[in-house]
A and B are shown apart, each in its own frame.
Chain A
């Protein structure tokens, strides 16, 4: 179980995330949606252990992120916003580095790199420098980095951003394949992705959870079943609001 309890983060006196609580069970694929600056990335960073909350807690399969961070982070695969990568490395050396830092031995690393490359379809660019790769490949390399160690919990910040329709299709299929037995939390702006991929939708706006239900139930709030219209109605107060400080990067 991934459990968030009263997660709160304040930036310069402004509440970035305000008492966010929810639980995600293994096998669930949760779409975490909201307008820009709503607190999605801040929440994901607190779950991943790269940002400390002011209040509240995150438990990853029973491990508290802030009192037992190493154990909790060992269970997580995290794709950060904008999919940052080391430009000077090749996908192979990058994935190997991440796995080595997680304490895996060479034989395990070789097998896991091949498995992640196959899953994300980057086998043909494994030995090319990352700086020479297209945006789609780079995104997939970053995704491979998140899932290379085969974690039971995946936290993905806009995994299909920058991918062409075919690549999006492949990525969604991959997430679907990975979902049995895993906890997957996806932050995205693409509501169609949530509708087709996720078993549950959590809407956050102004740092508060505004909805937590199945995409079908969410869409059913609109007479025409338009998920975008429900999203608009629930978030219009905060849409186009200013980006919160610290939302974008460390």
Chain B
């Protein structure tokens, strides 16, 4: 096996084991499941809609992820820099890209496991009426991609600072901007002082816009490319930040 894969595999499993032994991971999982289900029933009116579909459940995922994914990723690099273990990692004969990808994939695995914990809702609903399983599966796929995009932003923020709190605030701010840009209220406000094409472009770059198709059970190439591009950009920035540290910068 190449240095990339041996390094990737070792760090990926280390990160997953660390999360498995960390009570915070369980708190995040429980918070996500309870908040998403509660919002679906209390705010989204899942039962009141009278249809066996989970749109009311998925529509809140972007807003939940805006908070949860930065919390899940804030420690990834900032803790390594703060405790000095980054020095150990960088001294291994492993490419930076393998380290970056391993940390991201471990966090993404955890996020997808959190999502998997909500599948009883899907199964329960299918007992009450005919559920479009294909559409629901697509929405889950979209939710996974959405979580990955927010995590990639969080990883870049974590690599940029030694402080977990600052990493969290940075990731939260960027994630919120990337989400809120798609809200009509924000669009109309921005249109007041920005040119219309720019306002429309910002709205089109919103996570909400990209997730909308998946919510309805449609896989759009544009949305898929968008999520993959955000992940690639986030991970590239993370790699640059980590290599920047190797260059001797704070």
> Contacts A9-B248, A70-B94, A88-B21; is A250 near B88 (CB within 8 Å)?
no
Chain A contacts for B35, CB-based, 8 A = none
Residues of B contacting A86 in the complex (Cβ-Cβ under 8 angstroms): 14, 18, 85
CB of A76 closer than 8 Å to a CB of B? yes
25 A–B contacts, CB within 8 A, in A order: A9-B248, A11-B248, A51-B247, A52-B246, A52-B247, A72-B93, A84-B84, A86-B14, A86-B18, A87-B83, A88-B22, A93-B17, A97-B11, A97-B14, A100-B9, A101-B11, A245-B250, A246-B249, A246-B250, A249-B81, A249-B84, A250-B84, A250-B90, A250-B245, A250-B246
Query: In the assembly, what is the distance between CA of A100 and CA of B13, in Å?
Result: 10
**Is A85 positioned at the interface, with any CB of B under 8 Å from its CB?**
yes
Q: How far is the CB of A65 from the nearest CB of chain B, in Å? A: 11
Contact with A along B223-250 (1 / 0, CB 8 A): 0000000000000000000000111111
Contacts A85-B85, A97-B14, A250-B86; is A70 near B91 (CB within 8 Å)?
no
- Are B93 and A102 in touch, CB under 8 angstroms? yes
For B250, give the chain A residue with the smallest CB separation: A246
Is B87 touching A101 in the complex (CB atoms < 8 A)? no
Interface bracket on B: 20 to 34
Q: CB-nearest residue of chain A relative to B85? A: A84
Contacts between the two chains (Cβ within 8 Å), count: 90
Residue of A nearest to B5 (CB): A103
CA distance A174 to B3 in the complex (A): 30
The distance in angstroms between the C-alpha atoms of A52 and B84, with both chains bound, is 17
User: In the assembled complex, which residues on chain B have CB atoms less than 8 Å from the CB atom of A81?
Assistant: 84, 87
Does B10 make an interface contact (CB < 8 A)? yes
Within 8 A of B (CB), among A215-244: none
C-alpha gap A97/B18 in the complex (Å): 12
